[in-house]
Amino acid sequence: MDQMKILLIEDDITVCSSLKLLLGKKGYTVDAVNQPNLAEDKINTFKPEIILLDMNFTIDTSGKQGLKLLRIIREAHPNISVILMTGWATVQLAVTGMKLGAKDFMTKPWDNKDLMVSIENIKSLHHGSFDNQPKGESRDSRIIGSSQQIKDVLSLVDRVAETEASVLITGESGTGKELIAEAIHFKSKRAQGPFVKVNLGALPETLFESELFGHKKGAFTGAHSDREGRFGVANNGTIFLDEIGELGLNSQVKLLRVLQEKSYEMLGSSETKKTDVRLLSATNKNLHKIAGEGKFREDLFYRINLINIHLPALRDRREDIPDLVNYFVKNIAELYETEKPYLHPNTIDWLSQQEYKGNIRQLKNIIERTFLLHRSKKELVQKDFLPSFQVNVSSNKAGQALNLQENEIETIRKALAKYDHSISSSARALGITRSSLYRRLEKYGIPHEPKI
Ligand SMILES: Nc1ncnc2c1ncn2[C@@H]1O[C@H](COP(=O)(O)OP(=O)(O)OP(=O)(O)O)[C@@H](O)[C@H]1O
Ligand SMILES: [Mg+2]
């Protein structure tokens, strides 16, 4: 049997040489590139069976680049197994990577034994019936829940989907607003058209027009070419304006205008463009109240809020928790192609009684994190879940330390939202280094979803 070839894509030379040594000793042929842009050529000449892919090149610690490279590899070379290496334990990043078809992931500093087990597993797969289909599921937008509250929401979704009415989706963070927006689009007559999401919370006021309406080359310094805006891209489909409560008053005027006139001009152009889009928006703020304070235009409020769909907090529909738990456990086990771990009814009961300030997103994170930390266990019990709660939920103990911590968490969350989850920009704004921001994200279990 030929020696199996492993390619390292990793910009840290010390990591490279220690891995080369380890894998070489185990009888693998190893080669390495330390820049992502050299990877493609090397893959074509070296023809590895396995790639160890670093997710965090020093130029970009958000993991974006690693995920992008992973996608390219999965598309061009579906037979190569990829193991991800990440510098910090971000469950979201790992899960995203697994959805894109990575076989496994290691967090640095990795355990050599774990790494060898993972490689050996892949090796046996290669020699058995090797399934080269990427396991990325199609977009999974199943909405779980059988509580009366969620039934009411879903029946409202059905009724409004086929209309052209603009819908404002409200609810606390993590209650499923985006999921509902997608559901409305895909059930509407526009389902075949584009669904364009714009996160207004992350959009600086100065970029609002060029982002939404587009610009002509030379419209401003830095406009090197024509760029189509989001309204143009969304034509004949749906535009979803997320975090609309964050929109500044100036931008509100511009948005109102395009909604009233159904037309707009690109920056640097006098040509009026028609737009045919259905508007959905979401916020976790009380827009009515903000409007009362003069911070949100009332005319805009009424225009976007023809219909309101309010998503109840998870604590108000605890009876949905068992279904959600089972669904998330099943999904993550499928993703990892392992047996679904057993959860005793008492464990599920206990989970149903916990506090989830971050609602369904938090529940999902807790399940995924716990599963990943106990990947080989046949049963997950209360004490396996506890640490994930501690990083995710602030305890009940009152006190100044906790308040300080809560403030810190809140500040970090805001910075992340504002800078569209860019670690570098958020760290800069917070006046801390990227690595100390990572440490805090880890410590507080702040979900930070990498954008691909
Ligand atoms: N009813 C549900 N069934 C299954 N998954 C759900 C449900 N509701 C939410 N989720 C999942 O929970 C996570 C959070 O949902 P989503 O992003 O839609 O929330 P959100 O209200 O937009 O949150 P935020 O205000 O923080 O942006 C997503 O991963 C989503 O798929
Ligand atoms: Mg959202």
In a domain, 140, yes or no: no
What is the pLDDT at residue 398?
33
**Distance from residue 177's CA to the centre of ligand 1 (Å):** 6
CATH of residue 187's domain is 3.40.50.300
Which has more confidence, 413 or 127?
413
Q: Decide which of 311, 328, 346 is a domain's last residue.
A: 311
Q: Is the CB of 154 under 6 A from ligand 1?
A: no
439 compared with 130, residue with greater pLDDT = 439
Nearest CA to ligand 1 atom 9: 176
Identify whether residues 432 and 336 lie together within a single domain: no
Range among 365-369, 419-423, 443-447 rated most confident: 365-369
Judge if 260 and 212 occupy the same domain. Answer: yes
Q: Which residues contact 36 (CB under 8 A, 6 or more apart)?
A: 9, 57, 65, 66, 69
Closest atom, ligand 1, to C-alpha of 176: 18
Instruction: From the CA of 143, give the closest atom in ligand 1.
Output: 3
In a domain, 134, yes or no: no
**122 and 271 both lie in a single domain:** no
176 Cβ inside 6 Å of ligand 1: yes
**Last residue of a domain, which of 279, 311, 343?**
311
On whether both 295 and 433 belong to a single domain, the answer is: no
202-261 per-position pLDDT tens digit = 788 888 998 899 988 888 877 788 888 999 999 999 999 999 999 999 999 999 999 999
pLDDT at position 51:
96
Residue 138 lies in a domain: no
Please indicate whether residue 177, judged by its CB atom, sits closer than 6 Å to ligand 1: yes
Phi–psi pair at 273, nearest 5 degrees: -105, 140
Q: Which atom of ligand 1 is nearest to the CA of 364?
A: 12
Higher pLDDT, 14 or 285: 285
* Residue 242 falls inside a structural domain: yes
**In a 3-state reduction of DSSP, which class is residue 287?**
helix
Q: Is the CB of 174 under 6 A from ligand 1?
A: yes
| Predicted pLDDT at 277 | 97
Say whether both 170 and 65 belong to one domain. no
Domain containing 337 — which CATH number? 1.10.8.60
Beta-carbon count within 10 A of 18 CB: 12
Q: Residue 100 in contact with residue 74, Cβ under 8 Å?
A: yes
Q: Assign residue 32 the CATH number of its domain.
A: 3.40.50.2300
Nearest ligand for residue 144 CA: 1
Instruction: Select from 157, 178, 319, 321 the residue to mutate for testing ligand 1; criterion: most ligand atoms less than 8 Å from CB.
Output: 178
As a whole number of angstroms, the distance between CA 295 and CA 289 comes to 9
- Evaluate whether residue 136 is within a structural domain: no
Instruction: Check residue 2 and report its DSSP letter.
Output: P
pLDDT at 128 over 60: no
Q: What is the 3-state secondary structure (H, E, C) of 180-244?
A: HHHHHHHHCCCCCCCEEEEEHHHCCHHHHHHHHHEECCCCCCCCCCCEECHHHHCCCCEEEEECH
**Same domain for 420 and 379:** no
Q: Judge if 239 and 265 occupy the same domain.
A: yes
Average of pLDDT values for 284-313?
95
Is the shortest distance between the CB of 373 and ligand 1 below 6 Å? no
pLDDT of residue 59: 54
Residues 381 and 439 in one domain: no
Check residue 433 and give its pLDDT: 75
Instruction: Establish whether residue 448 lines the binding site of ligand 1, counting it when its CB lies within 6 angstroms of any ligand atom.
Output: no
Q: Given this model, what pLDDT does residue 158 score?
A: 94
d(CA 435, CA 417): 18
CA 137 to centroid of ligand 2, rounded, Å: 20
Asked whether residue 444 carries a pLDDT value surpassing 80, the answer given is: no
Ligand 1 nearest atom to the CA of residue 171, by list position: 21
Residue 81 structure tokens? 């197994």
Name the residue at shortest CA distance from atom 23 of ligand 1.
174
pLDDT at position 395: 34
Asked if 264 and 295 sit in the same domain, the reply is yes
pLDDT of residue 449: 52
**pLDDT range class, residue 405, cuts 50, 70, 90:** low
Is 179's C-beta closer than 6 angstroms to any atom of ligand 1? yes
Residue 104 has pLDDT above 70, yes or no: yes
171 lines ligand 1 (CB under 6 A): yes
**Does residue 133 belong to any structural domain of this protein?**
no
In this structure, of 261-265, 361-365, 392-396, the range with the lowest mean pLDDT score is 392-396
Q: What is the pLDDT of residue 174?
A: 94
Ligand 1 within 6 A of CB of 143: yes
| Span from the CA of 173 to the centroid of ligand 1 (angstroms) | 8
Is there a contact between 141 and 182 (Cβ–Cβ < 8 Å)?
yes
More confident residue, 293 or 101: 293
- Do 341 and 406 belong together in one domain? no
- Residue identifier of the C-alpha nearest atom 24 of ligand 1: 173
Domain that holds residue 305: 148-311
Q: Does some domain include residue 135? A: no
| Residue 345 shares a structural domain with residue 426 | no
Q: Which ligand is nearest to the CA of 359?
A: 1
Tell me, in angstroms, the distance from the centre of ligand 1 to residue 362's CA. Answer: 9
Q: What is the tens place of the pLDDT at every residue in 16-75? A: 888 888 898 888 999 999 888 889 999 999 999 999 998 876 555 567 778 888 999 988
In this structure, the residue with its CA closest to atom 25 of ligand 1 is 173
pLDDT at 133 over 50: no
Burial class (CB within 10 angstroms; exposed 0-12, middle 13-18, buried 19+) of 125 = middle
Residue to substitute in 179, 316, 332, 392 for testing ligand 1 pocket (most ligand atoms within 8 angstroms of CB):
179
Task: Looking at the CA of 169, name the nearest ligand.
Answer: 1
Atom from ligand 1 closest to the CA of residue 145: 1
Total domains in the fold of the chain: 4
Of 311, 327, 364, the closest CA to residue 157 belongs to 311
Lowest pLDDT segment from 28-32, 328-332, 386-390, 434-438? 434-438
**More confidently predicted of 25 and 452:** 25
Co-location of 219 and 305 in the same domain: yes
Q: Which of 255, 283, 311 is the last residue of a domain?
A: 311
Instruction: Find out whether 88 and 438 touch, Cβ atoms under 8 Å.
Output: yes
Q: Find the 79 Cα to ligand 1 centroid distance in Å.
A: 33
Domain membership of residue 142 (yes or no) is no
